[in-house]
Structure 1
Amino acid sequence: MKSILVTMVICIFSLTACGQQNSSSNNKTHKTQQKYNNMDTGKLTNNTVKEAFDAWQKGDSQTFLSFFTADAKLYDDGSPRDFQKFVKDACGHERFTTIDKVENEGKDIYGNFHTESWGDFRTYFKFHFDADGKISRLDIGQAN
């Protein structure tokens, strides 16, 4: 009888431990995500850029892509890249941590950027529009 009781107690503790999550890790991730999502976007004066930026920050690639033409181009430090692949790989994993400067009628954003692969660095996103008001090109790169 004693061995059955000991076995039951061990099983209960094992199941409880398996269901627990590392709260400090989850809190850190949540606070980091909250910081990025609560960033002041008041400097973003172009409504389309602001909405696309907000979708990027939230990791919502479908909404982000909805602001672009079907054949949108991407240039990374002046070199062409596959736009669709970039969005698929980076959206939700990379984001601005600050907005330092906005230029060109609200279409150019400069700030600090965080990536899981490369860490933190200053960058820019420059949005180019077609005649119908859709974004047709995005230039990204490291800012000086």
Structure 2
Amino acid sequence: MAIQTSKLSDPAVRAFVTAVNAHDRDGFLHLLTPDATMADDGADRDLAEWIDNEIFSSHGHMDVAAESDGGRALIAQYRNDTWGEMRTAWRFTVTPDGHISRFETGQA
């Protein structure tokens, strides 16, 4: 059973999921620090290229199944037009001012 996005514990992570699901690229980018980084399946990736390919040009969508670590770790069903649907794990590093400086994802 999915957790409603509005019920996610961490405000930055909640906004991240909301932006992904709304295909709100500007809102998504506003959440990140200027030097934000990310990794996919343990390998650092080019952030701008990855979000374009895996989220925005491929209609990415997250249905969160579970959260831990105060809402900064998620298990989600993630789907996009490229890969279909898969169970994924997400971990977020959030700055004191509420921006995401790093996120990591991969198959769960």
> Which range, TM-score by smaller chain?
0.7 to 0.9
The structure number with the bigger radius of gyration is 1
Work out which of the residue numbers 95, 99, 119 in structure 1 matches 2:61.
95
Distance 2:104 2:74 in 1: 10
Aligned equivalent of 1:124: 89
Amino acid corresponding to residue 52 of structure 2 in structure 1: K
Structure 2: which 5+ residue stretches go unaligned?
none
Change in CA separation of 1:42 and 1:130 when aligned onto 2, cut-off 3 Å: closer
Aligned equivalent of 2:79: 114
Structure 1: which 5+ residue stretches go unaligned?
1-38
Q: How does 1:55-94 map to 2 (within 5 A)?
A: 55-92=19-56, 93-94=59-60
Is the CA contact (8 Å cut-off) linking 1:129 and 1:135 kept in structure 2? yes
Name which structure has the greater RCO, CA cutoff 8 Å, separation 6+. Answer: 2
What is the deviation of 1:131?
A: 4.1
What is the deviation of 1:43?
A: 4.1
Question: Which string of whole-angstrom CA distances, capped at 9 and with x for unpartnered residues, describes residues 79-110 of structure 1?
Answer: 000111112223331111x3211011011111
What is the deviation of 1:42?
A: 4.5
Q: Higher strand proportion, which one? A: 2
Distance 2:15 2:96 in 1: 19
Is the CA contact (8 Å cut-off) linking 1:125 and 1:140 kept in structure 2? yes
The answer to whether residue 98 in structure 2 is matched with residue 133 in structure 1 is yes
Question: Which string of whole-angstrom CA distances, capped at 9 and with x for unpartnered residues, describes residues 14-68 of structure 1?
Answer: xxxxxxxxxxxxxxxxxxxxxxxxx722441111111121011111111011111
Distance 2:52 2:84 in 1: 19
Q: Percent identity among equivalent residues?
A: 30
Secondary structure, counterpart of 1:117 in structure 2: coil
Aligned equivalent of 1:27: none
What is the deviation of 1:140?
A: 0.7
